[in-house]
Amino acid sequence: MKALVTVKRVIDYNVKPRVKADGTGVDLANVKMSMNPFDEIAVEEALRLREKGVVTEVLVVSVGPAKAQETLRTALAMGADRAILVSTEDQVEPLAVAKIIKAIADEEAPGLIITGKQAIDDDSNQTGQMIAALLGRGQGTFANEISVEGDSVVVKREVDGGLETVKLALPAVITADLRLNEPRYASLPNIMKAKSKPLATKTPADYGVDTTPRLKTLKVGEPPVRQAGIKVADVDALVAKLKEMGVA
Q: What is the pLDDT of residues 205-226, one digit of tens each?
A: 999 999 988 888 888 888 888 8
* CA distances, 73 to each of 9, 49, 165, 180 (Å): 11, 20, 34, 22
Residues 6+ apart with CB under 8 A from 104: 4, 61, 84, 86, 207
pLDDT confidence bin for 195, thresholds 50/70/90: very high
User: With 70 as the cut, is the pLDDT of residue 69 above it?
Assistant: yes
Mean pLDDT of the region 117-129? 93
Mean pLDDT of the region 59-84? 96
Reply yes or no: is the peptide bond before residue 171 cis, omega within 30 of 0.
yes
* Mean pLDDT taken over the chain: 93
Q: Report all structural domains of the chain as residue ranges with CATH numbers, in order of start.
A: 2-244 (3.40.50.620)
Residue 23: predicted pLDDT: 84
Mean pLDDT of the region 119-136? 94
Alpha carbons 11 and 233: distance in angstroms, whole number: 45
User: With 90 as the cut, is the pLDDT of residue 28 above it?
Assistant: no
User: With 80 as the cut, is the pLDDT of residue 248 above it?
Assistant: no
pLDDT confidence bin for 227, thresholds 50/70/90: confident
C-beta of residue 213 within 8 angstroms of C-beta of residue 21: no
Residue 156: predicted pLDDT: 96
User: With 70 as the cut, is the pLDDT of residue 244 above it?
Assistant: yes
Please give the share of the chain, as a percent, with pLDDT higher than 70.
100
pTM (two decimals): 0.87
Residue 225: predicted pLDDT: 85
Q: Beta strand pairing status for 18-19 and 152-159?
A: unpaired
